[in-house]
Copies of this chain bind each other. A is one copy, B any other.
Amino acid sequence: MTLQTSLSEIRFDPEAEGAGFDAAFIAVEVARLLHEGQETAIREFVESQELADVAALIDELEDGDDLGVLRLLPMHDQAEMLGYLRPRAQVDLATRIPRRELVALMTAMSHDERADLFKQLDEEAQEAILPALSKAEREDLRRLAAYEEWTVGSVMTSDYAVLKPDMTTSQAIEALRAQAIEAETIYDSYIIDESRALIGVISLRDLLTARPRQRVDEIMDTEPVWVRADDEQEEAARLVARYDLLALPVLDNNDRLVGIVTADDAMDVTEEEVTEDFYKSSIVQPLEMSVADASIALLYRARIFWLVLLVFGNIFSGAGIAYFEETIAAHLSLLFFLPLLIASGGNAGTQSATLMVRALATGDVRPADFGRLLSREVLIALALGLTMALAVSVIGVWRGGPEIAMVVALAMITIVLMGALIGLCLPFIFAKIDRDPAAASGPLVTSIADVLGVIIYFNIAARLLEL
């Protein structure tokens, strides 16, 4: 079976007819061909594929084979392919590439990906590479690698296209032609003055549709959207999404242009942020790497803090039960409904919390909307509580008689209302005290709802049953 037929028969995802292949399967074929010395067949195959897929293939190959296939690609493709590998795979490959080859490869990489890789290398490898780079590249690398992990600077790239304000549009297009090999994008270009201050942005579309002799500064956008290099990276992602940008210019504190954040890098930031929000929603602390790559110790540390904290939080639920020991001893059938009632409060609360956390994150809801949402939530929670009370009172009559049924139904309505309001309020409280609303997680809401649920339930029981 040749590579071409195996490719057409087996695909990464049968839904995705237009792209991809089963990298693990193809890797076996490719390794066989490589050992048979059939480099040309492999070269033809990888050159016809998307670089993201080639990266997946190289990730599947054994050490040594991966370098063999990498070297079949033109240098420019090698550099771009590297950017599609997971950070750990990148470093693993880079440490096995001879120094001279690695320097050539890193010179061809886009500036941001090069800086990210450089940061991951150990000190020895870093010091072996630096002297081999040109002075300008060395400084660029150092500057980009210096930004802190969470900043815009850490995700921006410095290979953007620049134009002068007094160019004509046809001169500008010529200038972009020359910059096209190096620049990350030429679809947006940046007009700067002598001090590198950003004075305008122009799209290639506008350059193409303008008259050839028109000056760039007559048609450029003089009030472009921009961001600071030491702002949080989410801010860049938010701006790219809000204004549908292809690239966002980044300024330092002296208003000089220092880089751009491209739309695809902004999407990566958004994905990271979403993952972090999912983790927070289930009391897992940020991992800074894929869960598949994370060590056992790292995962333990990311999970233990909140688990133990909530153990102590739940002591209050236990204390609540202990306080009502007499009521419980007198009516042991009350216990039957305990898990069901406190779970319901937690579930309703988790729902409201998630709805609010997500709406605050996407901007669908603003802190100022709190009042309107609160009154609406009361109505929704009452409707939910009534329905659930109805369901549970049937079981109540069957398990404990009409008295118990009434206690349970009344407790259900109160507990669901209480849970829903905690879930609604907590994200807004967190936003108010400048914490991430996403920390109003399901487990936290549930723990609070548990304590109050126990107290509400047995209070109602004690009052009604002792009449």
Residues of A that sit less than 8 Å from B by CB: 15-20, 48-50, 52, 173, 176-177, 180-181, 186-187, 204-205, 208-209, 223-228, 231-232, 235, 238-239, 241-244, 246, 251, 263-264, 267, 270-271, 274-275, 277-279, 281-284, 290-292, 296, 299-300, 303-304, 306-308, 310-312, 314-315, 317-319, 321-322, 325, 328-329, 332-333, 335-340, 342-344, 346-348, 350-351, 353-359, 362, 364-365, 369, 373, 376, 379-380, 383-384, 387-388, 391-392, 395, 399, 416, 442-443, 446-447, 450, 454
Q: How far is the CB of A2 from chain B (nearest CB, A)?
A: 16
Bound state CA distance, A235 and B14, in angstroms? 11
Bound state CA distance, A336 and B319, in angstroms? 6
Pairwise interchain contact B317-A442, C-beta atoms closer than 8 A: no
Pairwise interchain contact A335-B311, C-beta atoms closer than 8 A: no
Q: How far is the CB of A393 from chain B (nearest CB, A)?
A: 11
Pairwise interchain contact B291-A365, C-beta atoms closer than 8 A: yes
CB closest chain-B residue, reference A185: B205
Bound state CA distance, A208 and B179, in angstroms? 11
CB closest chain-B residue, reference A310: B347
- Could you say which of B176, B208, B271, B337 contacts A176, with CB atoms under 8 Å apart? B208
Q: Taking A304-B387, A354-B281, A380-B300 as contacts, is the C-beta distance between A208 and B50 under 8 angstroms?
A: no
CB closest chain-B residue, reference A373: B292
Q: How far is the CB of A53 from chain B (nearest CB, A)?
A: 8
Top 9 A-B residue pairs of the complex, sorted by shortest distance between their CB atoms: A317-B339, A18-B226, A282-B354, A314-B340, A318-B336, A290-B364, A19-B225, A244-B264, A282-B350
A177-B209, A307-B351, A307-B388 known; 15 new pairs, CB 8 Å cut-off, are: A15-B232, A16-B238, A18-B224, A18-B225, A20-B242, A278-B278, A282-B353, A290-B364, A291-B359, A299-B380, A300-B384, A304-B387, A307-B347, A335-B335, A347-B443
Pairwise interchain contact B243-A383, C-beta atoms closer than 8 A: no
Pairwise interchain contact A348-B307, C-beta atoms closer than 8 A: yes
Q: Which residues of B contact A244 (CB under 8 A)?
A: 52, 264
19 A/B residue pairs, CB under 8 Å, sorted by A:
A16-B227, A19-B226, A50-B225, A187-B246, A263-B264, A267-B267, A278-B278, A281-B442, A282-B351, A290-B359, A310-B347, A317-B340, A318-B338, A318-B339, A321-B335, A328-B335, A338-B338, A343-B446, A442-B443
Q: Taking A228-B17, A300-B384 as contacts, is the C-beta distance between A344 and B284 under 8 angstroms?
A: no
Bound state CA distance, A228 and B17, in angstroms? 8
Pairwise interchain contact A284-B340, C-beta atoms closer than 8 A: no
CB closest chain-B residue, reference A225: B19
CB closest chain-B residue, reference A341: B314
Q: How far is the CB of A191 from chain B (nearest CB, A)?
A: 16
Q: How far is the CB of A213 from chain B (nearest CB, A)?
A: 15
Q: Taking A318-B335, A335-B328, A355-B291 as contacts, is the C-beta distance between A350 and B228 under 8 angstroms?
A: no
- Could you say which of B227, B296, B348 contacts A303, with CB atoms under 8 Å apart? B348
Bound state CA distance, A329 and B332, in angstroms? 8
Q: Which residues of B contact A340 (CB under 8 A)?
A: 311, 314-315, 317-318
Q: How far is the CB of A277 from chain B (nearest CB, A)?
A: 8
Bound state CA distance, A349 and B279, in angstroms? 13
Q: Which residues of B contact A383 (CB under 8 A)?
A: 296, 300, 304
CB closest chain-B residue, reference A314: B340
- Could you say which of B279, B343, B358 contacts A278, with CB atoms under 8 Å apart? B358
Pairwise interchain contact B16-A235, C-beta atoms closer than 8 A: yes
Pairwise interchain contact A292-B325, C-beta atoms closer than 8 A: no
Q: Which residues of B contact A232 (CB under 8 A)?
A: 15
Pairwise interchain contact A311-B344, C-beta atoms closer than 8 A: yes
Pairwise interchain contact A322-B348, C-beta atoms closer than 8 A: no
CB closest chain-B residue, reference A451: B339
Pairwise interchain contact B292-A369, C-beta atoms closer than 8 A: yes
Pairwise interchain contact B350-A442, C-beta atoms closer than 8 A: yes
Q: From A311, A319, A387, name the one whose CB has the most chain B CB atoms within 10 angstroms.
A: A311
Pairwise interchain contact B180-A209, C-beta atoms closer than 8 A: yes
Bound state CA distance, A244 and B369, in angstroms? 36
Pairwise interchain contact A281-B284, C-beta atoms closer than 8 A: no
Bound state CA distance, A388 and B313, in angstroms? 13
CB closest chain-B residue, reference A293: B364
Pairwise interchain contact B310-A343, C-beta atoms closer than 8 A: yes
CB closest chain-B residue, reference A383: B300
Q: Which residues of B contact A228 (CB under 8 A)?
A: 17-18
